[in-house]
């Protein structure tokens, strides 16, 4: 499930980053994502305010940037390896990265 709604603590079926990649490269769907028309997918990061990932501390910011960079690298590898015509847009807490 992809959603842009606020996170709900009792909801457990949010799509993970691995779920999204698996969906894109599934044999029954991959051709649609390799088509000439580009598809844009906004990844709306859901982070609890208590985590304070952007609180200005060196450690929190470094950890957050490492994880965001790692996600972008993995997605880029899949886009290139499977010749997908998709572009991911970072949204939510990731805006500005």
**Tens of pLDDT, residues 7-45:** 677 777 777 888 999 999 999 999 999 999 999 988 877
Residue 2 within any structural domain of the chain:
no
Number of domains in the chain: 1
Q: What range does the domain containing 55 cover?
A: 17-92
Which pLDDT does position 25 carry in this prediction? Answer: 96
Residue 56 within any structural domain of the chain:
yes
Answer whether residue 1 shows pLDDT above 50. Answer: no
Residue 82 within any structural domain of the chain:
yes
Residue 9 within any structural domain of the chain:
no
Question: Given the structure tokens 């499977």, which residue do they identify?
Answer: 82
Q: Whole-prediction pTM value?
A: 0.73
Q: How far is Cα 44 from Cα 41, in angstroms, rounded to an integer?
A: 9
Which backbone phi and psi does 68 adopt, to 5 degrees? -65, -45
């Amino acid at each position: 499930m992809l959603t842009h709604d606020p996170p709900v603590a009792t909801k457990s079926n949010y799509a993970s980053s691995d779920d999204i990649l698996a969906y894109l490269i599934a044999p029954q769907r991959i051709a649609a994502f390799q088509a000439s028309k580009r598809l844009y997918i906004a990844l709306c990061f859901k982070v609890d305010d208590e985590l304070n990932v952007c609180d200005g501390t060196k450690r929190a910011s470094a950890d957050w940037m490492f994880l965001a960079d790692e996600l972008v690298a993995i997605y880029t590898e899949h886009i290139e390896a499977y010749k997908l015509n998709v572009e991911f847009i970072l949204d939510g807490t990731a805006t500005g990265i």
